[in-house]
């Protein structure tokens, strides 16, 4: 079955820019405007964060955006309502990212069905580990043509890398260093070793590097070792200022892509 | 039916290891090695020796005569309050520090609510010369101040968790984040039977010394190994797991866990997870969780920092679901009254957590011939300010 994620990686082999934001932040109803403005600024893929009260894999910036979003009244149900009709204006791949518990409470099957209905292409659920996915989730995701995006870290063994590659169908999310989101990155020597080691393995899935990518320098650096990179915390932080969403978003993306 | 964990890390439908990939190498290493290490001759020798000569085990099983008269039923207290550092928590930290040593770790992190687990961790870190960082909710840093000072004097760094309600759940989030950021040199000493497999099983095994002793102590004092019932308070559930452990297959023994109801289970200030929660995933395991209909975790409340937690260990979720154990709750007010009663009848000031188990005596049908064992999980030193404020002494 055709999936926009696969299509993206067929069409584009380098410098792919994926951006994460937390749905419901800064304002509850910003979701669609943020997506449309990111698309207009030229990003290739968008990860829409579903806020969770206890995001253990996230650093302070995304913890805060999640908290504000929940206070604003965001929920999975609300998010799906906002996304109805998004495919009339947006054609790039969209991924939902969040923690397992709200998905379980929504109901796995109902959640996947709704994802397919509104036009979601993939899921990133950091606390859904490989073995649970294989045993209890894979089949349902597949039925609704949803790719599960799995993470790897510098500590992931070659053996497990191969298992993850085998279980992946969209791309592999390569976490730059073992950390929570938003950690500073400088592409240190040991990271280079890791990036090169993974690159040399010639995995079947494309890779995007994430965590700690925040500007043109770190983005370009990451793109030397993978098809592209993912920006999360730095973008969420950029949504803080007083300018209009429009200006904030296009400034941020221009800065990452063109350095201005 | 087995009430123990299965090979995949589940108790019935509860448990598992819902961890982000960043934690995988550490959890996999633990899963693969913990049984081999804790069953090794050297580990057992060290563990038994330290429990005896350092912790002061066996802890007494004390026949509480005046309490027995008051309740017209035989009441024994398992005196975990007399352990070094003042609670059962040290049984687990001794086990885990030895394990961390065998794994070659040099840095220890822990979460704490009441501060008892933090103190027990800081203590074994001093003993074994390990770097120690303890995460504690900012509210708990205030309400359990003496324990914060103890941890610092023991050489630990105490970091206040400022997120959420600033209690145990938030401290646990921060500890997990620390482990994600420090994947190589660090061992996380979880303080209860919660978290990803193998923690619930591992911690239960270290705490199982409680029920092992109860069995022979009852035999010694009464000529019978089995009591009528066992009562223990339940936060994450480690002291209860330890007190139940060797009785799980003795189906004649009634097992009762007591959760913290805070201001009442019909208010929104409570921590009675099994009464108010439903199945979900929190802190890497599937169990009962207090949550909204959207799956967001509800901030709990209890006067007792050690029970102020919106989850419960998967072993208890399964004992509840299979009806092997019964779970009651006690409110703040009932608990304060029970603490004062024990203090004035027996001369023992209990921890607020442990007083939940005492409060349950008023909620069950006690017969004169019954033999009740209450796990007195800790002493009340850390709660003196709360007691004094409430009772006005
Ligand atoms: C004295 C005492 N009892 C009980 C508990 C609750 O923990 P658990 O349910 O794991 O025994 C604590 C936790 O801090 C404690 O300090």
The CATH number of the domain holding residue A168 is 3.20.20.70
Closest ligand 1 atom to Cα of B86: 1
Give the contacts of B60 (CB within 8 A, at least 6 positions apart): B79, B82, B217
pLDDT of residue A189: 62
Closest residue of chain A to B170, computed from CA coordinates: A54
Q: Enter the DSSP assignment of B361.
A: G
Residue recorded with tokens 């020798």 = B45
Query: Cα–chain-centroid distance for residue B126?
Result: 22
- B306 Cα–ligand 1 center, Å: 5
For B270, list phi and psi in degrees, rounded to 5.
-155, 165
Give the count of Cβ contacts less than 8 A between chain A and B: 102
Pair B306, B192: CB distance under 8 Å: no
Question: Within a 13 Å sphere around the CA of A206, how many CA atoms are in the beta-carbon half?
Answer: 19
Closest ligand 1 atom to Cα of B81: 1
Q: Which one is catalytic: B111, B174, B213, B259?
A: B111
Give the contacts of A154 (CB within 8 A, at least 6 positions apart): A175, A177, A178, A190, A191, A194
Residue recorded with tokens 């992931």 = A156
B65-80 pLDDT, tens digit each = 999 999 999 999 999 9
Pair A189, A212: CB distance under 8 Å: no
> Atom 1 (ligand 1): residue with closest C-alpha?
B378
B141-194 pLDDT, tens digit each = 998 889 999 999 999 999 999 988 899 999 999 999 999 999 999 999 999 999
**Could you tell me whether strands A122-124 and A94-97 are parallel, antiparallel, or unpaired per DSSP bridges?**
parallel
Q: Which one is catalytic: B89, B150, B166, B169?
A: B89
Classified as helix, coil or strand, B75 is: strand
Where do the DSSP E strands lie in chain B?
10-11, 14-15, 61-63, 74-79, 107-112, 131-137, 157-161, 186-188, 229-233, 254-262, 278-282, 285-289, 325-331, 371-376
Record: contact B21-A156, CB cut-off 8 A: yes
Cα-based angle A6, A8, A14 (whole degrees, multiple of 5): 120
Q: Is pLDDT of B197 > 80?
A: yes
DSSP β-bridge partners for residue A173: A151, A208
Record: contact B20-A63, CB cut-off 8 A: no
CA–CA dist A80, A98 (Å, integer) = 14
Residue A168 lies in domain? 4-258
* Assembly ipTM: 0.96
Pair B112, B135: CB distance under 8 Å: yes
DSSP β-bridge partners for residue B135: B111, B159
pLDDT of residue A185: 61
pLDDT of residue B237: 98
- Give me the residues of A, 156-185, that contact B with CB < 8 A: 156-157, 160, 175, 178-180, 183
Average pLDDT over residues B327-335: 98
CA–CA dist B288, B234 (Å, integer) = 13
A46-79 pLDDT, tens digit each = 999 999 999 999 999 999 999 999 999 999 999 9
Give the contacts of A107 (CB within 8 A, at least 6 positions apart): none
CA–CA dist A171, A151 (Å, integer) = 9
Helices B199-207 and B89-102: crossing angle in degrees, nearest 10, is 120
Asked if B111 is an active-site residue, the reply is: yes
Closest residue of chain A to B15, computed from CA coordinates: A132
Pair A120, A144: CB distance under 8 Å: no
A92-151 pLDDT, tens digit each = 999 999 999 999 999 999 999 999 999 999 999 999 999 999 999 999 999 999 999 999
pLDDT of residue B163: 85
pLDDT-above-90 percentage for chain B: 97
From the list B136, B193, B163, the residue with the least C-alpha distance to A56 is B163
CA–CA dist A5, A122 (Å, integer) = 8
CA–CA dist A105, B150 (Å, integer) = 41
Shortest distance, CA B174 to any CA of chain A (angstroms)? 7
**Assigned token pair, B307:** 């029970």
B271-300 pLDDT, tens digit each = 999 999 999 999 999 999 999 999 999 999
Pair B156, B134: CB distance under 8 Å: yes
Q: Is pLDDT of A190 > 70?
A: no
pLDDT of residue A260: 83
For chain A, the straight-line distance linking the first and the last C-alpha, in angstroms and rounded, comes to: 39
DSSP β-bridge partners for residue B78: B61, B375
Count of structural domains, chain A: 1
- B68 Cα–ligand 1 center, Å: 24
Distances in Å between the alpha carbon of B53 and those of A17, A166, B46, B214? 60, 52, 10, 19
* Mean pLDDT computed over every residue of chain B: 97
DSSP assignment of B245-273:
GGGTT-TTSEEEEEEEEET-TTSS----H
> Atom 10 (ligand 1): residue with closest C-alpha?
B238
Cα-based angle B165, B387, B115 (whole degrees, multiple of 5): 45
Pair B297, B291: CB distance under 8 Å: yes
Q: Is pLDDT of B6 > 80?
A: yes
Chain A CB contacts of B294 below 8 Å: 75-77, 102, 105-106
* Mean pLDDT computed over every residue of chain A: 95
Write down the pTM of the prediction.
0.97
Average pLDDT over residues B235-247: 98
The secondary structure of chain A in percent helix, strand, coil, rounded to multiples of 5, reads: 50, 15, 35
Where do the DSSP E strands lie in B93-130?
107-112
Q: Is the dihedral of CA B156, B158, B159, B165 positive or negative?
A: positive
Q: Is the dihedral of CA A181, A184, A187, A192 positive or negative?
A: negative
Record: contact A150-B21, CB cut-off 8 A: yes
| Residue B20: exposure state from Cβ atoms within 10 A (0-12, 13-18, ≥19) | buried
**Assigned token pair, B338:** 């029970």
Q: Is pLDDT of A186 > 80?
A: no
A10-39 pLDDT, tens digit each = 999 999 999 999 999 999 999 999 999 999
**Assigned token pair, B67:** 């309490």
Q: Is pLDDT of B219 > 70?
A: yes
CA–CA dist A90, B44 (Å, integer) = 62
Q: How many helices (H) and strands (E) does chain A have?
A: 13, 9
**Assigned token pair, B178:** 């620390």
């Amino acid at each position: 079955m055709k999936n926009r994620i696969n299509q993206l990686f067929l069409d584009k082999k380098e410098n792919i820019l994926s951006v994460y934001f937390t749905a419901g932040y800064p304002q509850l109803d910003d979701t669609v405007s943020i997506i449309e403005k990111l698309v207009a600024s030229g990003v290739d893929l968008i990860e829409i964060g579903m806020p969770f009260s206890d995001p253990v894999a996230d650093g302070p910036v995304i913890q805060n955006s999640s908290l504000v979003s929940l206070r604003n009244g965001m929920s999975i149900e609300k998010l799906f309502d906002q996304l109805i009709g998004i495919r009339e204006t947006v054609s790039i791949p969209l991924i939902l990212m969040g923690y397992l518990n709200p998905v379980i409470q929504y109901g796995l099957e109902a959640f996947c069905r709704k994802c397919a209905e509104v036009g979601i292409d993939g899921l990133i659920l950091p606390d859904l580990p490989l073995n649970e996915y294989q045993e209890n989730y894979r089949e349902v995701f597949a039925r609704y043509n949803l790719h599960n995006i799995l993470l790897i870290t510098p500590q992931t063994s070659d053996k497990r890398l191969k298992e993850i590659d085998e279980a992946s169908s969209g791309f592999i999310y390569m976490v730059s260093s073992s950390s929570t989101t938003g950690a500073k990155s400088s592409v240190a020597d040991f990271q280079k070793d890791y990036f090169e080691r993974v690159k040399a393995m010639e995995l079947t899935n494309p890779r995007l590097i994430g965590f700690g990518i925040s500007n043109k320098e770190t983005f370009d650096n990451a793109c030397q070792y993978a098809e592209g990179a993912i920006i999360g915390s730095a973008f969420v932080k950029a949504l803080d200022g007083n300018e209009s969403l429009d200006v904030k978003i296009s400034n941020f993306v221009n800065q990452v892509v063109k350095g201005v | 039916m087995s009430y123990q964990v299965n090979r995949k890390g589940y108790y019935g439908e509860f448990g598992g290891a819902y961890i982000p990939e960043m934690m995988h190498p550490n959890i996999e290493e633990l899963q693969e090695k913990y049984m081999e290490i804790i069953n090794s001759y050297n580990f057992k020798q060290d563990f038994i020796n330290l429990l005896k000569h350092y912790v002061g085990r066996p802890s007494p099983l004390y026949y509480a005569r005046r309490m027995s008269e008051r309740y017209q039923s035989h009441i024994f207290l398992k005196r975990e309050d007399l352990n070094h550092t003042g609670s059962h928590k040290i049984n687990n930290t001794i086990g885990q520090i030895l394990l961390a040593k065998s794994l070659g770790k040099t840095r220890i992190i822990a979460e704490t609510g009441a501060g008892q687990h933090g103190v027990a961790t800081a203590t074994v870190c001093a003993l074994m010369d390990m770097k120690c960082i303890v995460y504690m909710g900012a509210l708990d840093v205030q309400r359990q101040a003496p324990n914060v000072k103890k941890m610092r004097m023991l050489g630990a760094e105490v970091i206040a968790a400022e997120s959420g309600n600033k209690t145990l759940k938030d401290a646990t989030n921060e500890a997990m984040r620390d482990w994600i950021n420090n994947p190589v040199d660090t061992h996380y000493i979880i303080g209860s039977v919660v978290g990803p497999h193998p923690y619930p099983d591992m911690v239960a095994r270290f705490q199982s010394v409680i029920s092992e002793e109860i069995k022979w102590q009852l035999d010694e004092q009464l000529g019978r190994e089995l009591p009528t019932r066992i009562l223990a308070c339940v936060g994450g559930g480690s002291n209860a797991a330890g007190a139940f452990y060797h009785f799980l297959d003795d189906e004649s023994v009634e097992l009762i866990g007591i959760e913290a109801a805070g201001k009442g289970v019909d208010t929104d200030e409570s921590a009675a997870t099994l009464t108010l929660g439903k199945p979900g995933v929190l802190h890497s395991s599937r169990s009962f969780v207090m949550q909204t209909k959207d799956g967001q975790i509800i901030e709990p409340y209890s006067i007792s920092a050690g029970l102020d937690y919106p989850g419960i260990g998967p072993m208890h979720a399964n004992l509840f679901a299979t009806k092997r154990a019964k779970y009651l709750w006690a409110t703040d007010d009932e608990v304060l009254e029970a603490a004062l009663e024990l203090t004035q009848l027996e001369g023992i000031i209990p921890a607020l957590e442990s007083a939940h188990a005492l409060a349950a005596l008023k909620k069950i049908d006690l017969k004169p011939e019954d033999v009740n064992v209450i796990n007195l999980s800790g002493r009340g030193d850390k709660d003196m300010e709360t007691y004094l404020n409430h009772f006005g002494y």
